[in-house]
Structure 1
């Protein structure tokens, strides 16, 4: 286990590169006090003074003790109890830890060893290791007088160590590598003569004599103006030697002749880079956990983070569609960590996905690398293996970063991997580079779209805070329309930035109206500035069939797809479809989610839909027909399992090549509908757009039981409104009867009782005209529900008795009508009649194995017993009903029964049970969008009194809703 304790930056503890949460600032400050004095006791009074700066709270000693107890617990939870020990010593505390595990003490030990070292090269190596331990301002984020003093002292130690390191590096002829650092140091310390001397010497050795002399003159002028003094004698002497071009100032010939070339090939860092903090931190963690112990291969592609093989690290980023920001992330990180690669950085664009469609030949990339490393281009071999061998010899034992951008395949990358263990390689790619994972232990870093905060920060960076905050709604819409895709956001921001007088509201409206067309601007003059063009490069390496599948997925109904749906859409076998989906996933055009779901980013899907227009019309229509039939026939099979007693409808055979999903039982049917409900709604919409009227109507029918079980009342009304339009084009009169009935029921659930009554009376008229007594009985039963909602139980009872009379030779439906009569007579106080009808209904339901009907009737008996004052019997009936309803997944009826059983518990004085039942009912009502019921139950909870009382549940929802409309 690798343990690191850090104070040369923020106060941190890491275990195998993973940070441990050390708690709030005061707690970290207590730890910092002890770490600075590691292995030496610190008196409690000193701890208090250093943490609170002379103004401690009254309970400071107790707080210190509490903080240290919490730190011990955190360290124990992180399995550090044996590595880092916090002990009480006399009147104070001590942290016992190996000093090399604390970056400050390791820094001091390395500096001391370097100063004692006689070999300049070895001393320089030690000082470079010491410099690499610094991550910024020491003890960052903490602020007390003691912290300030320690911080200033540590900065002085760092400055002295860096000055010594630079002297040694100049002595060894590394002036070219040092120039950027020395320039920064001279800017930060403009009056320091030793820094000036080092910069002047480096400039002179790089052939920039005039710049060295000019820098001296600037310093002299500043010293005279600000201090009234000339430079010291050492600097003046150096100035004279540079004027005279003293040969002794050049680096030793032997060292100069053998000094390796230090390439700096990184393109400029992205100026407007925002976000990606977790990804940058993951790259940092991987680097610190592997360098210098092993070769680091970082690859950005699409896979999950995995443990690397020993001595090898590969980081790969996904989300990998074009424009997701892989290259920007790689370059940003590379520039931020360039100082950790003193022997240089190599960069090549492998053009795996570019306008030319021709990836860079690895041999050409190697020639470029070797030339950058100082090789004579004319002396390079032509053979790839020979080039690879020479390249690996050149970079062996050198600490270099190799950035391989936009790779097409692992085979393109492999020859460019160094052979030693000192280099780090960062690869970006839209593909997964699977063999790189298998053969080289690649680790993958997932790169997805931006978070909401990151996307908002991108707009602020490009447009300014004032403009973004002035139109928050327009900003939110831009983020949503762009799907937080970096390139899409950048293009939208460019549109806004180049038209500062145009409100963001108009920019969002334009994007909403034009979609991908707006993001396709400048595709001729600057292909990389067009999202569709960038996405199109991902298709170059796909087969014809893979491109067809990609296009069809763009027009498939629903938010995502599964393997069975995709197989039916494409007409492929499941095995072939799986292989094709995997290829699209590998190309970062598709993402696999839990549960076997495949999804596309909205903009990628929109692009896929545009490519579908290039397919032959007959191919598109056949694919849509197959996927519609797949969903319809599977939904129909699910409906038959959920409600086997319902009068079935007839479906035509599915189209050739369609294989509906097998559903073995009731739970499987309900689970499939739960998952695929959004797809089925989308399929109905697609069927309507293609004038598949039969499919539109049959899907509405197939979703009815599910909608009532799950309380999807709004969706129920919407699908039947679509079915009503389709029914106008269908000849079967029963279709029109059922449509009017379900429109009536849908309007009932929406609280639109006049419209509900109108639709049901239209249905009743049609049943009488077409002599359909069964549908006539069903319609009377549906009218029961409307009149109950309208508060007229006697009118409802009249319709219930009509239904009972018409059901005289249909015992299953007769049981339903018996229950309705029993429920209504109970509401009207006719308890004996109610009990007789409900018990008869229960017998018939059980005889015909109608579990839905049995549950509804038990609920009716519970209500009847409650109204009759027999509350214990009521609770027993309700509990039996709830057991059945939960097994059925009938959450709508579960909520109603919980509401009613709560009244019976309250009447018995069982307020704990009443409260539990009402809380669950409240949660279900809210999930189902039944706000009126939710408000009523909330009032019941608010009014629940600890003393027993008889509660009249007159507001309870009527029982016939426990039996969804059938037929």
Structure 2
């Protein structure tokens, strides 16, 4: 089926007979064992003008196919492989007998590999899947070329090819996929998607001139043969290719500069600087510019990267970004997906605009930095797999990586330049000491050399030792060196590790012993904090001291190089020092004190999180866990702005705390934190939402608590619903409703039913969707929950409006009444998101009722309100509906403009349902304008997305659109 129709039995190619018989066989094979009525087969073969004997012809074809497939079947016995079913037939072949099954299996395995972050395996699997194709589906049966099932299968082929190209590009193998893409583009010269893939692959492989040639030839063919310009795919590829990003002025606020502060007293590393300078001097002669600084812990990799980055920042006028990947943090290294989110946020991309899918997120990042002159410092990386998705893919950027790993994969596959950083040479080590403590080194050079050797010539240890020497100016350097040597001997007896590790821990121990008790306690408490950084508030909570004392302790630790200041009055700690602090806490602090400190930290974060949610989402307050604000020092939450700022700054720590709680016998905290933060996390932080709610579900499993499990399942279902992942969403929500009812939680059940109703609506199950929304509405009214009532009215109105194209005038009027009531409630509650959603849905209903002027008014108001509150999905939905209205009014150009803008936003935020809807709207509008080829492309893409997500409405709408184009009918677009 994946090419010309072929049937092979026992190694022998069977002759299916004439074209009509092959068509019948192909359609039945595409049905995948499901029966097809004779009427459907007749329509597919002859359309609206079948011959009078059409049914007899079909029966004759089936008879011959049965004889061919089952030559030994006795006469008058029912066929097993091609039985009659009702008024039609079904083709039932053994498992694995159809090449389509093998193709889909490989694609599914590739998707799983992608979810696990194994892009190399995904690329291999997709290559095998695409290799099964020998042309377009059923290529030898022209009569079926435009049949929806065949178009859908060819859509799967294109999607697999696109994913294969993306996976190969993401793994640095763009050049290897060029022959396949070139063959595809040559075979389909008017297919814009094929041309766009080839353009992007040439760009990724560094062949920009060739990419431009391909684009220009495709543009000319479209104009000469179809009389149209490039569509969205080819236009986007072109913009990726040539768009020039003007360098902003040095003082422009759009230039991002996230480099840590420059390194005081940096000494040596002249050879390493020369190598890095040569990489910059080489310009853009390679596809990517990557440097990897690798070496042991404490050798000064980060200091070298930061110092050099400050030296050359003027050569990267579009910005300098720094991300600490925490690759060797035992608690929670930063994943590639998290790092991409931070990179995109640094570039000004809103959280709700960041796709969830790793590949889409990486693609968004590459698009954002294309042709920018940017320096990206990826600090403390653990592996090449952590790094690959973060590579810009353009020679205008330079990526500087630090790691203890040699990153051989990046060197071999991506041409990275590796710098192996060793211990400082003796002269540079004593030179660093001279810079830090001055003439005392010159007065006793032998002692200085001895001190450098005692510190294993590691910059981290040298700086800590120098600070101790500076704090004791009256002590001769030789005395300090003997003291350190004595401590080193004692520690080696207790911990006979390697020399470098022993040297580092000796210096740490020496420094720690000279701290005052308050600062020493603060240092030990650092080992208990699971987050990536600390501030004075969290340190005060951990130590039980006041806020001023905590600040003083952190300042003392910073002066002694035991912590590093970070933006926002926060402090980070080197992972070696964090591990040492945790060891000290275990040695010196009783278990009950450590446990009490961690409990205070949990209460502190949960209390402030609850206060921020009360500020941002007051209507939900009665239904969140009852949490009292801890009496310990707390960050002020004075309004919505400060609440959002606190959540943004602390989100990585909150996620880390939730995971730590599950893994360290505090399941109740994980569940409470998830149940507190769910509304904030659903506002666009989908990756973190899945992490937190999955942790809460594990916590519920540890305790056997049904109520806890019900809330975790509800929140997981809501996030999957927002992502268009309807299968898992429905499963989680149905289980949640059962548990909520068992525990008597009416609010929880109502919230789960609301989400399930939306999922069912997307799946075309309107009767059950409306029933669940009615039930949720009754529950919220009984509870006196005005926000829940408004949300239920909104969803009920939307479900009644969207039920089908056969919706009656009465059901549309009922929908309008529910939505008007929801609008009034949302306005009374001051809920701007709800208000905008109600306006958008009212506009949709007015379209269905033919009230176009009212519809435009509602939709423009909704669009502007969504834009004002930075709700990108809502804005795109309103734009999509506006396009639909303009199409109804015959204003095709305005409709296409609105729909293309909506489509761009949906793709940017990774919203598959919205993307399919906008594509269908675009297809309907283009068909009315007589641009059938573009319309077919849009509907085909929509069909592919909708069938993948299980969206009944949009897949049916796409199928109808493709059928109308095939039949040449020009009708009013379907709603």
Report the TM-score when normalising by structure 1.
0.44
* Structure having the higher Rg: 1
TM-score (norm 2): 0.44
RCO comparison, higher one (Cα < 8 Å, 6+) = 2
